[in-house]
Amino acid sequence: MSEEVLIRWAGSVGHISLNRPKALHALTQAMCEAISAALLAWRDDAAIEAVILDHAEGRGFCAGGDVAMVRRSALEDGGTAGRAFFHAEYRLNHLLFTYPKPVVAFMDGVTMGGGVGLALPGRYRIATENTLFAMPEGAIGLFPDVGAGWYLPRLPGQIGKFLTLTGARLDGAECHWAGLATHYLPSEKLAEAKQRIAERPASIEAALNDLAAEVPPARLARNAERIERLFAPDTLEGILDALASDPSEWAAKELKAVAAKCPATSKVALREFAESAGKSDFAEEMALEYRLAARMIMRPDFAEGVRAVLVDKDNSPVWNPATAQAVTQDSLDAIFAPLPLQEEWTPFPA
């Protein structure tokens, strides 16, 4: 058992807590493997009826994956360690998605990237006043992964595209409004919620409904019409043109956000969404995302994006290609192409 993951059980409920507070519980390969091992052990254990997934302390549920390590891998070992991390992480994502028992994910605090991949498969997803949700991969030259290619296109309207291309950060009320969270609870009620779930795992829905608070108005809802209209185009160029043509201050702000992201990342995301929207098997989604991850981490944009955001922290990445128009169809085809059979991603056996 990793000290960075606390695994125990209360009655007939398994309880997994992320415990890497100095890194906002960002996932390492060892953490992914420890969580997967616990879930696999409980999957066919009749004594375990449900699983609670939360964090032990600090202000983050999970800030993502260990992208600094992945960058070092891309620069030093040809991406071998980075690919091993993604393989383990995506196996965990798929295991959670297909898990036969209720998983209750408490998104209390920062829930970004890899944290989204942990939370969204849960049958019950709890937001609070502390929730800060985002898919910020465009800022580091990656792409929306951990199953985001499945979840985000299935959100209402153009919300998924908006979140991906802007990196917008949502609070708990906005997560509930968008369908990312199933319940909204005050943070002071979380301990009681977990206790009730442990005592009566067959009554999770009733416990959460009883403790839920009135959801504050979602700020994002005020711009729902603009999001639906301006993020409707199928291409990055079309969305940039739509935002540039709108006279509102909101459109100008979002145009700046979209234009600042890695153009290749944005185009990969839009193609990923188009290909994934019709998928009926989550394993196919994870196999696709693994192909993308294996190639995207080796592109110079990834090393440059992580440098700008996490290493030098100047937030001034130099993307290559620098514009949407310069990202070619051939380059996208190469990123999306199947891997050699022995290198493809595989799920845990059922």
Residues catalogued as catalytic:
65, 114, 137, 145
H/E stretch holding 58: none
Cβ contact 139:64 at 8 Å? no
CA angle 167, 171, 176 (to 5 degrees): 105
Q: How far apart are CA 6 and CA 16, in angstroms?
A: 6
Which residues, in sequence order, are CB contacts of 8 under 8 Å at separation 6+? Answer: 14, 15
- Three-state secondary structure call for residue 334: helix
Q: What is the DSSP code (8-state) at residue 136?
A: -
Q: How many CA atoms lie within 13 A of 19 on its CB side?
A: 14
- DSSP β-ladder status, 13-18 and 5-10: antiparallel
3-state SS, one letter per residue, for 271-324: HHHHHHCCCCCHHHHHHHHHHHHHHHCCCHHHHHHHHHHHHCCCCCCCCCCCCC
Q: How far apart are CA 29 and CA 69, in angstroms?
A: 10
Q: What is the DSSP code (8-state) at residue 27?
A: B
Which residues, in sequence order, are CB contacts of 318 under 8 Å at separation 6+? Answer: 304
